[in-house]
Amino acid sequence: MDISSFVTSLLTSFVIFVVLVLVFTWLSRRPGNAPVYYPSVLLRGLDPWEGRGRGTRSPVGWIRQAFTASEADVVAAGGVDAAVYLVFLSSVLAILVVSGIVLLPLLLPLAATDHALENSAGFKNGKEAQNFTIIERLALGNVQKKSMRLWAFILSVYWVSFVTYLVLWKSYKHVSNLRAAARSTSDVKPEEFAVLVRDVPIPPPDQTIKDSVDSYFRVLHPDTFYKAMVVTDNKEADKIFQEIEGHKHKIAHAEAVYAESKKGNKPEGTKPTHRTGLLGLIGKKVDTMEYCNGEIKELLPKLEAEQKSTLHDKQQRAAIVFFNSRAAAASASQTLHAQLFDKWTVTEAPEPRDMIWSNLPKKIYERHTRQTVVYFIVFLTVFFYTIPITAVSAVTTLEKLREKLPFLKVVVDQQSEGIPSQSHVVRAASGKYFYFIIFNVFLGFTISSSLFSALKTIVDNPPGIIVMLGNSLPGSATFFLSFVALKFFVGYGLELSRLVPLIIFHLKKKYLCKTEDEVRAAWSPGDLGYNTRVPSDMLIVTIVLCYSVIAPLIIPFGVAYFALGWLIAKNQVLRVYVPSYESNGRMWPHIHTRVIAALMIYQATMIGVIILKLFFYSAILFPLIPISLIFAYTCHTRFYPAFAKTPLEVASQELKETPNMGAIYSAYIPLCLKPEKLEDVDVFEDAQSRTTSRAPSF
């Protein structure tokens, strides 16, 4: 790409961004759009415009509000996970700013005043010079081989590396303290009084699984054990429950339509009707409200019978065990309960809304097998995705996997690895997506159109990847500069303007929504979507780090990306996104590890680049990769244990009120198992605890 094309692309992206910001400013002022631009504020019962003067509605008013909001404000609006994501963005921003302060004034003049490109062109073409872009002239490629100027580039690699170590260390410590503060708050949280128990042994014939779990933990924790709730196979109960809820929603919708029809020339109104056949298009025509009420009356006894059957006969070999104090639960989650590793596996319990109930009963061997299969599929996808796209497209979606690979249906149809919580699924998916985009977007484009063409070289000579990167990366500098610019100008502009959600909301509100619940569902924004957002940011981290010394001009673009990203993400956390779970920053160790991985890719790349410059002292860079590994190990040893387990000194902090253990227990009862007759927690527990003369069904 020549410089004129690059500048044109950059200016076009900037103009699009400015237009989108102005559109956002105009649209966000209109009260009818508040559910799209301020859903988080509305759900917290606040007025989006309370205390805001004219100045705050200017095109830059939202910027001041985002800057002045404290970390406590972020935690209150979006939770600790959102605050930790902002720490990630600010940490990368700090790395790039501090690195750029040295790299830009040091490396740009050294590259600009050398003549490697002209000399190379003259040697090849018999010319004195050739037209090169300003980006190429200000990059490492313009420094001649064996030049002593390469010392500056070697020292710069060390500078970026040690700045990264320092910032990551401080950030890890800060997030660790943030997590500890959240876990030691005086508020009562159900998950802090519970542990998840998996791999429960088969009970004796005269006991239910519930009775077995109760007796086991009552003996081991006689003073602190409260109750146990056995996980049940409630698919049928949930299916009936969802049918009932669906009919209730239809009744509410029909009542709103009926009330609206009375406002016209017909005071008596027109009752809504529908057909009972496929998609409401065929079959008998019925009165919607009468039909749905009749269906509910028929389904309620079925639900009650299914609940009784589920609680007693469909108990699974997993349970949530409750303790009467946070410290007792934390201690139990860190204690080895059984002599055999495949019996009585005890871990911290996810919060109720974070649970994936269907995964909890999976046995340890099944979980390990599934994990191996999933990682094998990920490996194949990462390395062979670009072998003809037509072939790979057959297995790139879940639907195609079921169609083309029937033996994987069991794995595909469920959360494959038996992961117990949604937050854990997000972390796992984020890691796999990170591998995919690094190999297929960054390395795939850099080395060739497909990594497969370079795979044989890598397998035969693994260290050869370093030289391959060093040889290929510099030539892609202009492309990645444009890529980063496009990502933050257009991508963040669309994120801020929320044009697509706005259009969808108004279409639904006008043509589909008749009740307040339907309107609320239409503007429900969801959470930040860490599973794709974090890997996408990690791709930019990798690109900017790898080019920070090769083409230092990328640093300002990286600074702009993460500064703007931090600002817009903070605005969206405060105003828009609503967390679907809270893991108290459990994502951070994953983020930290990926940044270290990006740093090591950068270090390996620079080793290859300097080697190709035939510089005698290039070996000085070799210790960097071992240093990074040592740093990663040190951070893991020092900080990670407090993320894997809750420290007792944190869990032992005093509560502001005596916990209501009944409320804590009932928070984990699935909705489909607690209708009116099961509102009483004792009734629910009794239904699970009844002894039987036969072995329970599994």
CA 348-353-356 angle, 5° bins: 70
The band of 678, judged by pLDDT with boundaries at 50, 70 and 90, is low
Quickly tell me which residue has 């010079």 as its tokens. Answer: 129
Beta bridge partners of 195: 321, 348
Q: Does 481 share its domain with 569?
A: yes
pLDDT at 123 over 70: no
Whether the pLDDT of residue 392 is over 60: the answer is no
Q: Which of 180-184, 288-292, 536-540, 614-618 has the lowest mean pLDDT?
A: 614-618
Do 208 and 88 lie in one domain? The reply is no
Decide if 394 is inside a domain. no
Lowest pLDDT segment from 276-285, 382-391, 495-504, 553-562: 382-391
Contact 359, 261 (CB under 8 A): no
Task: Quick: pLDDT tens for 56-95.
Answer: 455 677 888 899 999 999 999 999 999 999 999 999 999 9
- The whole-angstrom separation of Cα 521 and Cα 41 is 16
pLDDT the model gives residue 173: 97
In whole numbers, what is the pLDDT of the chain averaged over residues? Answer: 84
- At 382, the pLDDT band (50, 70, 90 cuts) reads confident
CATH number, domain with residue 680: 3.30.70.330
pLDDT of residue 456: 54
- 73 with 133, same domain: the answer is yes
What is the pLDDT at residue 450?
A: 39
Q: What confidence tens digit (pLDDT) does each residue in 512-548 have?
A: 888 888 888 888 888 888 988 999 999 999 999 999 9
The answer for residues whose C-beta is within 8 angstroms of residue 160's C-beta and 6 or more apart is 95, 99, 103, 545, 548, 549, 602
Reported as a single tens digit per residue, the pLDDT across 5-39 is 778 888 888 899 999 999 998 998 888 899 999 99
Q: Determine the pLDDT at residue 349.
A: 95
Closest to 80 in 3D by CA, of 648, 495, 527: 527
Do 78 and 21 lie in one domain? The reply is yes
Q: Within this chain, do residues 20 and 125 fall inside the same structural domain, yes or no?
A: yes
199-to-219, 308, 361, 540, 690 alpha-carbon distances in Å = 18, 24, 7, 41, 22
Residue 398: pLDDT band with limits 50, 70, 90 = very low
Give percent above pLDDT 90 in the chain. 47
More confident residue, 534 or 55: 534
* Number of residues that make up the chain: 698
State mean pLDDT over 179-202.
Answer: 93
Banded model confidence at residue 388, pLDDT cuts 50, 70, 90: very low
Question: Given this model, what pLDDT does residue 284 score?
Answer: 83
198 and 320 in a common domain = yes
- Asked if 616 contacts 153 with a C-beta cutoff of 8 angstroms, the reply is no
Using pLDDT thresholds of 50, 70 and 90, give the confidence band for residue 407.
Answer: very low
Q: Do residues 327 and 432 both lie within one domain?
A: no
Nearest residue to 46 (alpha-carbon basis) of 77, 68, 82: 77
Is residue 645 located within the same domain as residue 664? Answer: no
Of 133-147, 520-534, 608-622, the range with the lowest mean pLDDT is 133-147
Flag the least confident range among 341-355, 377-391, 482-496, 548-562.
377-391
- Whose CA is closest to 321, among 233, 191, 205, 421? 191
- Would you state the structure tokens that stand for residue 571, as one six-digit string? 């605005």
Q: Do 241 and 229 fall into the same domain?
A: no
**122, part of any domain:** yes
Lowest mean pLDDT among 130-139, 187-196, 295-304: 130-139
Long-range contacts of 117-123, Cβ-Cβ distance < 8 Å, separation of 24 or more: 117/141, 117/142, 119/144
Q: Would 216 be classed as within a structural domain?
A: yes
Tell me 355's DSSP state: B
Dihedrals φ, ψ of 489, to 5°?
-75, -55
The pLDDT, as a whole number, for residue 296 is 93
Residues 461 and 577 in one domain: yes
Determine the residue type at 161. Answer: S
Picking from 193, 191, 202, 195, the residue whose alpha carbon sits closest to that of residue 345 is 195
Q: Beta strand pairing status for 225-232 and 345-348?
A: unpaired
In a domain, 359, yes or no: no
3-state secondary structure of 266: coil
**Domain annotation covers residue 379:** no
Residue 197, amino acid: V
Rounded to whole angstroms, the Cα distance separating 573 from 75 reads 9
452 CB contacts (<8 Å, ≥6 apart)? Answer: 383, 384, 386, 387
| Residue 443 covered by a domain | yes
- Interval 310-361: pLDDT, tens: 998 899 999 999 999 999 999 999 999 999 989 999 999 999 999 999 999 9
Residue 289 maps to a domain = yes
| Nearest of 159, 199, 467, 194 to residue 355 by alpha carbon | 194
Range of the domain at 176: 3-186+421-649
pLDDT given at position 488: 81
Same domain, 19 and 146: yes
Q: Are 576 and 163 in contact (CB under 8 A)?
A: no
Instruction: Check residue 514 and give its pLDDT.
Output: 82
* Number of domains, the chain: 3
Tell whether 520 is covered by a domain: yes
Do 144 and 209 share a structural domain?
no
DSSP 503-568: HHHHHHHHHT--SHHHHHHHH------HHHHHHHHHHHHHHHHHHTTTSTTHHHHHHHHHHHHHHH
What is the mean pLDDT of the segment spanning 153-167? 96
pLDDT, average across residues 365-389 = 77
Reported as a pLDDT band with limits 50, 70 and 90, residue 474 is low
**Residue 399, pLDDT score:** 46
pLDDT of 453 reads 45
Task: Report the chain's C-alpha Rg in angstroms.
Answer: 30
